[in-house]
Structure 1
Amino acid sequence: MLSAICSNIMLNESHQRCASYGLSETEHPDFSPIGRSDLSLLVEQNQVLHTHALPVMETLYEQIVNTHNMVVLTDANGVIVHALGDADFLEKANRVALQPGVSWSEEGKGTNAIGTAIVEKKPTLVHANQHYLVANHFLTCSASPIFNHQGNVIGVLDVTGDQRSYHQHTMALVRMSAQMIENNLFAAAFDEAITLHFHSRPEFIGTLMEGIASFSPSGRFLSASRSGLFQLGLPLSALQTHTFSSLFGLPVSALFDHYRTAAPSLLNLCLHNGVRVYARAEMRRTNMVFHNMTMPAADQEAPAQQARPAAPARAESFDNAARRLSSLRYLNTGDAQVQRLIDKVGKVLGRDISILVTGETGTGKDLLAQAIHNDSPRSGGPFVAVNCASIPETLIESELFGYEDGAFTGARKKGSIGKILQANGGTLFLDEIGDMPVSLQVRLLRVLQDRMVTPLGSTKSIPVNVALICATNRNLRDMIAQGTFREDLYYRLNGLVVKLPPLRERTDLEVVINRLLATESDGHPCKVSAEVMRMFKQHNWPGNFRQLTNLLRTAIVMLGDDAEIGVDHLPDDFLEDISHARRQEVADTVTRVVSDMTTLEDVEASVIRKSLEAHGGNVSATARALGVSRNTIYRKLHH
């Protein structure tokens, strides 16, 4: 009852604002969208919001499909950026231009869920004749503003449909979806920070009900989600003067110590107001949770008065940005091979089936592994990646299995638990598994079979529970034949084998390039010229995504204030490769033609025959066209 009263008051105030804008309830509003170039700029300016919102919108749409509704995303001013809708409702929606580029601000469209939610900064339901304009009375709209980590409205998520299709649960779905987008944006803004997930009830950790707060590695408060602000009981401005220690009564160093244990449990912390909460912390540095986390002596908790809000870290690459969003759906950018691969992987998630990812260097095997983890039931646990090719053979055993204090000369005091135990409860990703020494393959096989790890220098075996993903660019079957890879380990690893296609075989290159540009451009929208895009599509890309990412990163630096990457912005070595490829193509063509003709006379006769065909068999016309006599024609043909 109280909620309905508050809603009516809010709508009445909105109607009064509309009257003050000079709007008439019976007037026909302007539904014309902005121009195509302006719309492209709008999408580019809201690329981060759009990228994080799109998978959530698709999930929301799946829940309301065939209900005469559509899902709409707008910018902070109420201009539609993206929309998904039922075909049977789209025709009606087009009457009021629920399409990208149309503004639904309160000033222009009167009381409506999108515009009113922006003004009120709260979820808003506007049903049927609650709309100020009669033209919109056939609609029912549920909208929720989307806030960034600084507490500013950056967009609106809305479900709009025929007023006869109104359902009381739609608003709840929209609010939950908006919060999911906010959490994704929050994680992307602080991907290099300590992120604490907390709630007074442990079962709510990992759900939308949890609070989220981020801190610098030294413990300085950075920001908190809306749910986090509510549970902390302080406004964002007041929290900027705090540290991890002042908020939770625990030095940040103790947090690091807690996560060095093999199977860390939930933390039990006391808030500054005396309320006890359960918490789980994570820190993603090079995409490893609490990987080698040690606190330098100079990096202690900074005094509160010196604390300043940290700027969001710039995305390091397309792979890293995608990994923060990271889901298998996000990786599906339109290539049929990748679609089939994702479908296969989706069927084994959470089934205790090991996955072996093959493919050339740079095809994104590590990105796929992270997405598999994030979509699995173990997503709340650690993701620990080990590159078997980058660790010296003398150290890989201790790195993987850990060691006791004094196990060998130079061993770290108090020992180390090793990568396998760090991944306990989560996912262990062994990259370049083909480079693992044969002697260690035996130990790894035993761990996978027994689910027990025995650190070096210890007689005690520790239970371990990990999901296993391996990757290689080598042919393990050939290695088995050569005796450099154990056959029994191979069959333990290949529960599901999937192969990532090289970039040159993918059909979604343009989509991939646009995503890379959105990630690498650092807020400066840019695109690739048509000429350069043709060159990209013709190139062989031997280095795959790694080569493409580095090339675009260089081109963006060369771009300066320009908005389009042209040939002049490309590095010389790439242009030389393109030029060499074209010369080689011409040479190959000539070789193929000449190889089909054993002599010069054969070439001449072939040209004469084709000219004769073109002139309908007229020898005189052919001779004139070729600049030779008729006798020469007869002689060459009868040679």
Structure 2
Amino acid sequence: MRAPLQALALRTCRQHLLEHGVCPPGALGERLARSWQRSLAAGLLPVARALPDPLGQTQLRDLRASQHELLAHALPAMEYLFEQVRLAQGMVILADAGGTLLHTLGEGRFLSKAERVALSAGATWHEAQRGTNAIGTALAEGEAVEIQGAEHYLEHNAFLSCAAAPIASGTGRLLGVLDISAEHGRWNPYSLGLVNTAARNVENRLLCTLHPGQTRLHLHPRAEGIGSLGEGIVVVADDGCLIAANRSACAWLRLDARQLGTPPTRLEHWLPLDLAQLHALHQRQPQQPLALRLHDGRTLYGQLHPGAAALGLRSPTRPPALSPAVPNAPNATMVGLPGGTAHAPTDALARLDSGDSGWRSACAKVRRILDKPIPLLIQGESGVGKEWLARAAHASGPRHERPFVALNCAALPEGLIEAELFGHAPGAFTGARREGRTGLLRQAHGGTLLLDEIGDMPLATQTRLLRVLQEREVTPLGSHKAEPLDFFLISASHRPLRLEVEAGRFRADLYWRINGLMVELPPLRQRSDFEALSATLLQGIEPGRTLALSAALLQAFKQYPWPGNLRQYANVLRTACAMLEPHEHTLDWQHLPDDLRAELQASPAPAPAHAPASPAAASAKATAPTTLGPLPHSLIQLEQAAVQQALHNSGGNVAQAARTLGISRQTLYRKLQGLRG
């Protein structure tokens, strides 16, 4: 901690500056001398009292809206800092990259003094307008600074002592500055360290937000330092080029964040491993930091956080592409690593893994049967991504170069399903095509056949399909010649087929024929990878454009039940992206359809963490059900309302809802089918 210069020495230096245009050599620290000389060059006089007008309320509101991400991530840090300076009646301030104060936290008599020098939201504290001050000087110098008392260039600011630290992006762009200010006589000597630490925390949080869906490598000289505030973070593109890094990473890797991308800098410049090899190591030891020996002999410990963009989730209208590094490998790619072998899959199934354990488990199971004559059954609610999984399974298997044929059994009239599936001979029936029809079963020969929503297939068609699957040959309608069949069979349904069998709506023998391996995909409301999934969907909707969700909107999306799951969510994001202005990169409330915005904003917000309820109130709240509407009058309506209420209160967890109702999951599934029917 440096000792502040005495007021007399400062007054002498200021007079010398005014008379000679330069500070006396060696009298001031270099940084303070540079700031004073910049202030004089801006035409400011130390005795000046005129202050620029602060922004009006409308301008301030617009500025805050444009700085939403910075505010959202800085506010928690500001609240923490304020608790540290409350006793000294200090203030915590956030300014943008131009020095305009976006938000302040303070209380007590110091506020009235601060307002007299316009230390309030909307005022500008850029050096060119306020002379030497912690906010403006931190922006000018690009590093944390402390300005005490008479070190301020303008004399009427001498009652202040301030410490400020800039907040920069992972590419070195200044985003804003965080500041602590207090009366000079009540100054906390640890303020500079506090504000610098808080600013680094905000930078790390913003680094992840501003580069959604990208792979991150977290670094530290000690394995125990991974996950700590001092860790280094590097953002890596899918091709292995560095695109962003925080200050710690820049220091340890000896790079300048402002030079990233010009020219592209690859990870292998520091490490003897490429990104694919790091992914492979991560797959083997996902929870353990890796010892990474740099080319210069130093060792850093690293932990990989695979990004959704690198995992390559694709739209169901396009089959997931194979890894560009291994275009001819149909199955999971095996990547060799120094000192041993690793077997980390990089196939289309692996690229569906954006962090949810349910999806990861399903993909791992599916991968084991791709080269075996075992049919796959995918269960899950409508819109959860069953076709995505089916297409990824086809692209990852040995039949990836052969046809992938999909039939939605619920979308065709009952009378046409047989003709679509089995084909027909020329003129086989009235309205038949003159040249006949091959049929989807024969089109899929050698490849993969997906029977989507097979639970909606009529019983008569189920009987004939069963025979085809047993005999592995098909006879088109109107023909007597059997055609051989060979395909990987995937079936999918939102209906619980076992319950459909119990209800007599689905043939038990067909169920056991298509159910070689059954996997159930979780609904969106139960997935743990919501943020990564959102980033991936946005990248697919607007490729090449960096988009993000505002913090408030992301939180509202997480709490919404999403009855249409991924299909509904993707449509919402696609519409919101269409509402963006060319200069906008953050989706917010104004970009949503009116009906969804009203529904989201009408949802009750969670209780604030800083104001806990009394134990009695908390207990009453935990046991009191959330009502969904008026009390029904008939027994059937009452039962339906009870089922819906239990599902709502359990967040869609069927097992928990069944326990609440005192019935089995199978009984609850049957009642849900009754609701849908």
TM-score normalised by the chain length of structure 1? 0.49
